[in-house]
A = this chain, B = another copy of it.
Amino acid sequence: HHITSISQIAPFLNQENKFWLNITDLENMDLLEEIKNLFDIHSMTIEDILNNQERPKVEIFDHFILIVVKMLYTRNGIEDLETEQVSFVFGKNYILTFQEHSFDIFDSIRARLENPTSKIRKHGTDYFVYALLDAIVSEYYTLLEKVTDKIEMLEEVIVSEEKRVKLSEIYNQRKSIQQLKKVIWPTRELLSIIKKSDSFLIKRRTLPFINDIYEQTVEIIENLEMQRESITTLVEIYMTNISLKQNEVMKTLTIIATIFIPLTFLAGVYGMNFHFMPELKWKFGYYLVWGIFIATAVIMAFYFKRRKWF
C-alpha cells in the first residue's frame, strides 16, 4: 500500500504481523517527527538517516537496529558511479526503510512478498533485512564484474598494443575501485558487527544468511584488491611500452643518421671548390667515392646488426 499519513499505520502497530514501511520523502520533517515518536527512535538516529554523507554503519539499540548502507549504481558506464544512501530501522515487527529515490532495487523483494508462501513472508524482520542487504550486496558484485571486465579489456588492448589507450582511462578504473572500496569496507564491518551482535532482533536462524553476505563482501574486497594490483601492473606495462616505442624511434633515427652523416660529409668534401684537388681529376674518382659510400653503409649496417639494433 501507498500511505500518506502516519495515522494509517497505527492499526498495524500492535499486531502480531510485521510490516514494511518504505519512506522516500526525506524532506517531510513532520512525517519523520511522527515516526520518531511512534517508534521511539533517538533523534541522533533520525539525523543519521537524513545526513546522506553518513558512512555505512550499524547501531544496535535496545528495541531497534539502525543500518545505514550505500547503494551504488551507474547510468553511463562504470566510470561514473553514483551513490544513494538507504537506511533501515527495524524492530520486532516493523521495518522502516528510508531512501531518497524509490529505486527498482527493492522490486524483486516486493515481487517475492506477493508470493504468500515465500520465506520472506514467513520469517521475521531480520530475514527481511537480510533480503534487502543481499539485494544491495549483489549490486556491488555486478559493479565489481563491470570494473573487472573493463580492466581486462584495457589489459588486452594495452598488452596487444592494438589501440592507443589514454592513461586517464586506466586511472578512471582505479577511481571506481576506490569508490567501491570506500562503500564496501564499512559494509563488511557492519555485517561483521551484526554477525557478532547478541541483539534479540537477530535470530540465530538468520545468522548463516548474514554470514553469507558477509563472506560475499570479503570476496568483493579481495577481488577489488587484486584489480587494484592489476591496474598498477597495467600502468607499468603502459609506461614500458612508451619507453620501448621511444627506443625504437631513437634507433631508427640513429641508424639513418649515423649511416648518412659521414657519407654526406664525404660528398661535401668533393663538392669543395679548391683549385687543387687531385682526386677530382682521377678517371674513376667518382666511382671510387661511390665505392666508399657503399662500403661505409654496409659496414655500419653490419655493426648495427651485430648490436641487435634491428
A247 & B249 in contact (Cβ 8 Å cutoff):
yes
Cα distance, A283 to B233, chains bound together (Å):
63
Is A9 an interface residue when CB atoms closer than 8 A count as contact? no
Cα distance, A72 to B249, chains bound together (Å):
43
- Neighbouring B residues of A107 by C-beta, 8 Å: none
Chain A, interface residues (CB within 8 Å), range: 35 or more
Q: Which of A142-164 contact B (CB under 8 A)?
A: 159
Cα distance, A286 to B159, chains bound together (Å):
48
Copies in the complex: 5
A235 & B238 in contact (Cβ 8 Å cutoff):
no
- Neighbouring B residues of A250 by C-beta, 8 Å: 246, 249-250, 253-254
Contact with B along A160-172 (1 / 0, CB 8 A): 0000000110010
- Neighbouring B residues of A283 by C-beta, 8 Å: 276
Is A298 an interface residue when CB atoms closer than 8 A count as contact? no
Cα distance, A285 to B274, chains bound together (Å):
7
Is A100 an interface residue when CB atoms closer than 8 A count as contact? no
Is A75 an interface residue when CB atoms closer than 8 A count as contact? no
Is A105 an interface residue when CB atoms closer than 8 A count as contact? no
B265 & A258 in contact (Cβ 8 Å cutoff):
no
Shortest Cβ distance from A285 into B: residue: B274
Instruction: Determine, out of A108-116, A192-200, A212-220, the stretch whose residues face the partner at the interface.
Output: A212-220
Contact with B along A219-257 (1 / 0, CB 8 A): 100100010011001011111111111110111111011
Contact with B along A30-54 (1 / 0, CB 8 A): 0000000000001010011000011
Known: A269-B267, A271-B271. A239 touches B242 (CB 8 A): no
- Neighbouring B residues of A226 by C-beta, 8 Å: 178, 182
B273 & A273 in contact (Cβ 8 Å cutoff):
yes
Is A262 an interface residue when CB atoms closer than 8 A count as contact? yes
B267 & A171 in contact (Cβ 8 Å cutoff):
no
- Neighbouring B residues of A229 by C-beta, 8 Å: 174, 178
Is A208 an interface residue when CB atoms closer than 8 A count as contact? yes
Q: Which residues of A contact B (CB under 8 A)?
A: 42, 44, 47-48, 53-55, 57, 159, 167-168, 171, 174-175, 178, 182, 208-209, 212, 215, 218-219, 222, 226, 229-230, 233, 235-247, 249-254, 256-258, 260-265, 267-277, 279-286, 289, 293, 309
